[in-house]
């Protein structure tokens, strides 16, 4: 009836506040996404170019994050018999031709290493969760390392991370508590460390002979 006064009870107000909060979150995180050149109804999965220093690991309940370029896959016509198909990545851009960047979050306890460490551009798949945050795929849990100092069986110690035969100068703590047979691992020895979810730590799984 016209002019009727509607009164919301406590449950109605909770539902309304939830809907408003969700809408505000989507608007805040969209970063003008409605202007992106994305096909309608496309899945919320894209490509990100990692920054030179990568994306930090999660610390406690706080994800690591870095501002990343957002890209899309491009390819030529595969049905053209006169030309071989080509593939690549191009930046997603705003109408003014500036490239789109988003904060990408790493919810995993292991870092994503970027260009500085691998000497080539790094691309990862990212997806957007329902509240608007962009999450990266799981980083590599298996690293090449060298102990900074001798690590005795049953102990842990800092190790330098090596990528493509080069010392990144970054360190991770690694436990020598599995398959060690009572042997130590001396400083500078080549080894493999894997992050174990059950221990929330890197653990040696392979090592150069002493």
pLDDT one-digit tens code per residue, 45-75:
889 999 888 999 999 999 999 999 999 887 7
- Let me know if 100 is exposed, middle or buried by CB neighbors in 10 A (0-12, 13-18, 19+): buried
Rounded CA separation 44/39 (Å):
11
Query: Is 164 found in the same domain as 114?
Result: no
Query: Is 176 found in the same domain as 121?
Result: no
Query: Is 151 found in the same domain as 125?
Result: no
Q: Is residue 98 part of a domain?
A: yes
Q: Which of 136, 153, 176 is the last residue of a domain?
A: 136
41, pLDDT greater than 60:
no
Q: Choose between 29 and 158: higher pLDDT.
A: 158
Q: Is residue 5 part of a domain?
A: no
Query: Is 118 found in the same domain as 149?
Result: no
- The boundaries of the domain holding residue 169 are 142-207
Query: Is 130 found in the same domain as 44?
Result: yes
Rounded CA separation 144/147 (Å):
10
SS (H, E, C) 16-51: HHHHHHHHHHHHHHHCCHHHCCCCCCCCCEEEEECC
Query: Is 86 found in the same domain as 53?
Result: yes
Q: What is the pTM of this model?
A: 0.70
| CA angle, 169 then 175 then 179, to 5° | 125
Question: Are the CB atoms for 133 and 29 separated by under 8 Å?
Answer: yes
**Number of domains making up the chain:** 2
Query: Is 180 found in the same domain as 106?
Result: no
Q: Which of 110, 136, 162 is the last residue of a domain?
A: 136
């Amino acid at each position: 009836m016209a002019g009727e006064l509607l009164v919301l009870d406590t449950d109605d107000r909770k539902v309304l506040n939830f809907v408003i909060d969700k809408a505000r979150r989507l608007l805040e995180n969209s970063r003008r996404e409605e202007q992106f050149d994305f096909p309608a109804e496309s899945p919320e999965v894209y490509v990100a170019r990692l920054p030179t220093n990568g994306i930090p690991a999660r610390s406690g309940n706080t994800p690591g994050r870095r501002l990343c370029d957002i890209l899309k896959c491009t390819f030529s016509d595969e049905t053209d018999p006169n030309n071989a198909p080509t593939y690549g990545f191009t930046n997603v851009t705003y109408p003014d031709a500036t490239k789109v960047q988003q904060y990408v979050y790493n919810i995993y306890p292991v870092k994503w290493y970027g260009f500085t460490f691998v000497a080539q551009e790094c691309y990862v798949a990212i997806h957007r969760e329902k509240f608007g945050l962009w999450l990266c795929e799981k980083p590599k849990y298996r690293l090449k390392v060298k102990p900074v100092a001798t690590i005795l069986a049953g102990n842990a110690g800092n190790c330098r991370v090596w990528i493509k035969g080069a010392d990144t100068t970054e360190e991770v703590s690694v436990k020598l508590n599995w398959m060690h047979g009572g042997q130590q691992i001396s400083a500078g020895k080549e080894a493999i460390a894997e992050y174990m979810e059950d221990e929330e730590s890197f653990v040696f799984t392979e090592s150069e002979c002493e």
